[in-house]
Amino acid sequence: MLLGKPPKDLINNLVKKFNTTKANASRLVMTELAFFHTVSQRDAFKELGSEQYTILAVLDNKTSLVCQDFDGKVFDTKDMSIGINAPPFHPNCRSVILPYYDDDYEIGERIVSGDDGKSVYYVPANMTYREWYVKYVDGVSIQDIGVAEKKYRRFTDDDLTRFQDLSNMCYKVLKISEEGALGFYTDDGYSVINASLQSGDISDDIWDKVKNIDSAIERFKLDEDIIVYRGTKMDYYKGIRVGDIIEPKMFFSTSFLEYIAQDFADQLNNPVMLEIRVPKETKSIYVGLNSSVGNEAELLLSRHLKYKVLKIEPGRLFLEVEK
């Protein structure tokens, strides 16, 4: 990399040397290149006396939620911290930084690729991702009927010990079939189970697992009002309006920690973050460290729940479980 070899050569060398996939090698190389690109820009800004910089995200449906939020924000160059207030913010991050000057010069334009990937159009250089999304992406506008007044708790990593203890107590009394069904779901089985539930074409084996998950959820009690997150595709929610009631008819895998849901969303095209308000006693089970794939701070919500749309923003839907 330091010798200036093309990314393609670096990727191919990693694939051969470490017997890994091209996707993994590409993710590592492109992320490291982005890191060094920002480092070199930071040093150049300091030499040129640029005291502030702004973040520029790519205006398309592949842009991660974190980059959508950072687009257009301005920071002091002396306070730059890569991964915190400067890209890359995540693997394969495409955001960049530009010197920022608070003056009255002509605003200029920024380029946007068309949906076909070939055509382009231009928008004002100071238009943020959220402003672009509202104006140019169909089906989404900023709406709000007021988030519920009830106080819902947000969690950090340090707050989850009690829920993990409750989960461990619950798992001790699960039947072998219930624990096995949860293990199947939290591994790779969630896609098969939920697809079967939504299509109605359910095999006897999958139906048995569904019923065991149902009974496992009955054993866990949520004893406070909380907020959880789910990273998914906006394609599933096109056309919805504030006040609508959503009935997925499938299990909802959510996380107490937004950054975990964010990591999942960043792997998707046209991602959206669901911020879900969950009242106490809602049918659910905290999995946490009992997951088959490591701790994702997962709260698995019942397939029988309905959700009210409280608010819609570009890249984020605010939902509340209907009692």
pLDDT tens by residue, 143-165:
655 554 568 898 888 888 888 99
- Token pair listed for 224: 């406070």
Residue 196, pLDDT score: 96
Domain assignments of the chain as residue spans, ordered by start:
7-106, 143-321
CA trace torsion 234, 235, 240, 245 (10° rounding) = -80
Residue 105, pLDDT score: 61
Residue 86, pLDDT score: 96
Residue 226, pLDDT score: 94
- Token pair listed for 167: 């989960």
Residues in the chain predicted with pLDDT less than 70, given as ranges, are: 1-4, 104-107, 115-118, 138-150
Residue 270, pLDDT score: 84
Residues in CB range of 314: below 8 A, 6 or more apart: 68, 129, 130, 133, 134, 137, 140, 142
- Token pair listed for 190: 């969630």
Residue 307, pLDDT score: 97
Distance of CA 51 to the CA centre of its chain: 32
Mean predicted lDDT score pLDDT of the chain: 88
Residue 141, pLDDT score: 56
Distance CA 17, CA 252 (A): 40
Residues in CB range of 223: below 8 A, 6 or more apart: 280, 281
Pick the CATH number of 143-321 from 3.40.190.10, 3.60.15.10, 3.90.176.10, 3.40.50.800: 3.90.176.10
**Overall pTM surpassing 0.85 (yes/no):** no
- Cβ-count burial of 105 within 10 angstroms (0-12 exposed, 13-18 middle, 19+ buried)? exposed
Helices (H) and strands (E) in the chain, counts: 9, 14
